Structures are given as C-alpha cells and as structure tokens.
C-alpha cells in the first residue's frame, strides 16, 4: 500500500524544498494547482524539484481546469511527461483573480493526457449516487482521487484498485484552514480508526493532506 503526501505549493522555493526533504519517507507526492483559487507556484515546477531529489517516487499533479485553455493544458501535459508525473484533473475553485474559461472538461483532459502517454485520472466524489460513481469509473482513467469520502459500504460494489482516498486531517493547528477547504476531514485522534475501516480494501494508496501543519504530516505514519 502506497502512502502519498500532499505538498502545499507555497510561494517560497526554500520552504517547498524543506517540506519535500521532510517528507522523504512517503512513496509519492500530490501537488495541488492554485488551491482555493489563490496564486501559487505551478505544480509542474514543484514536481521538477521533487524529481531532482527523488528519481523513483511517484508525482501526481492535481491540475485545475476552470481557468486554463487547451494550449495551456497541452503544455502542462508536456511538462508532466518530461518529469514522469501523473495528472489528476479537477475543475477547481473559482479563481480569486482573472476570469473563468470552463473550456475543458476533466474527462476530455484526462483522455488527451493518456493519448499523449501521461498517466492520468479524475476526481471521484462519493457524494454522488453509486450509478454515477460507476459510470465515471468506466471513463478509462488510470487513477481516481476519491473525495468526500464517507460511507465505506460503497466500496463493496466497485473495483478499488485505481482509487486513492484523499484524507484531509484536522489538527489543533489547522482548523481554520480546513474550514475554508469545505470538504470532509478527519480529526487527528480519529485517524487510526478511520483508516482501519478501510484496510480490507485494495487501494492504489492513500493521500494525506494536513494543510498548515507539516509537522503532523511528516509524522503521519505513527497515527495510522
């Protein structure tokens, strides 16, 4: 079972480098693009930094589509291929600056990336009805990032091998940040029991996000 860490793309190269080094025990990294619609360093730049440090770890670029056009998408796919990274496509939050394009659908972006030789996938929300979840899983994606993770019984009726549950961890330090994300989270003291209920399923891996609390993320293995 692979364990992935989410790297927050801060505006400081030195901070990002330090975070990557601290998370060296993880199997791979997920890098969100402009989280919450605020400008940050692009995921492909941080992916390049990771690849320079670790030749064989997995890198997932979590690419928003709401405010890019097809030319930019193709450039991102080219960069992902160059650093041997995968891409998860999402529409993303409303941009805090500029305007929305909404030109590209996540399924279309995923299929384009796959045709160009880049492992690619989409978001899978467990808030959707089961028939919609299964339909999305038939889209041909290589990987699915599962959000709004709730009722685990859904997993009994689907193939879980391509799934990566996205687990946001709430700590004493990051409560305000987690509230702004507006997605389900797991309290640190409940994390072990939450993960334990999932151990019978064969996932590709788990992705842990602990925004604003790198110290806990660094030591997440002791809580699971």
pLDDT for position 215:
95
d(CA 214, CA 21): 11
pLDDT at residue 1 in the model: 81
pLDDT number for residue 157? 87
Task: Output the pLDDT for position 139.
Answer: 97
pLDDT in tens, the chain (224 residues): 899 999 999 888 999 999 999 999 999 999 999 999 999 999 999 999 999 999 999 999 999 999 999 999 999 999 999 999 999 999 999 999 999 999 999 999 999 999 999 999 999 999 999 999 999 999 999 999 999 987 778 899 899 999 999 999 999 999 999 999 888 999 999 999 999 999 999 999 999 999 999 999 999 999 99
| pLDDT at residue 153, rounded to an integer | 84
């Amino acid at each position: 079972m692979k364990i992935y860490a989410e790297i927050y793309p801060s505006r400081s190269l030195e901070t990002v480098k330090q975070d990557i080094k601290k998370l060296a025990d993880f199997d791979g990294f997920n890098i969100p693009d402009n989280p919450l619609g605020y400008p940050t360093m692009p995921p492909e730049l941080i992916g390049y930094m990771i690849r320079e440090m670790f030749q064989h770890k997995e890198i997932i670029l979590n690419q928003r589509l709401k405010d890019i056009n097809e030319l930019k998408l193709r450039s991102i796919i080219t960069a992902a291929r160059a650093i041997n990274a995968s891409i998860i496509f999402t529409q993303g939050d409303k941009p805090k600056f500029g305007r929305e394009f909404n030109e590209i659908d996540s399924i279309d972006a995923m299929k384009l990336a796959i045709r160009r030789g880049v492992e690619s996938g989409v978001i899978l929300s467990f808030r959707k009805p089961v028939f919609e979840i299964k339909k999305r899983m038939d889209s041909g994606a290589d990987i699915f990032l599962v959000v709004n993770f709730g009722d685990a019984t859904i997993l009994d009726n689907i193939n879980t091998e391509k799934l990566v549950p996205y687990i946001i961890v709430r700590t004493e330090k990051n409560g305000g940040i987690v509230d702004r994300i507006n997605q389900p989270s797991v309290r640190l003291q409940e994390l072990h029991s939450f993960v334990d209920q999932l151990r019978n399923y064969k996932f590709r891996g788990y992705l842990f996000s602990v925004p604003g609390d790198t110290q806990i993320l660094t030591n997440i293995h002791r809580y699971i």
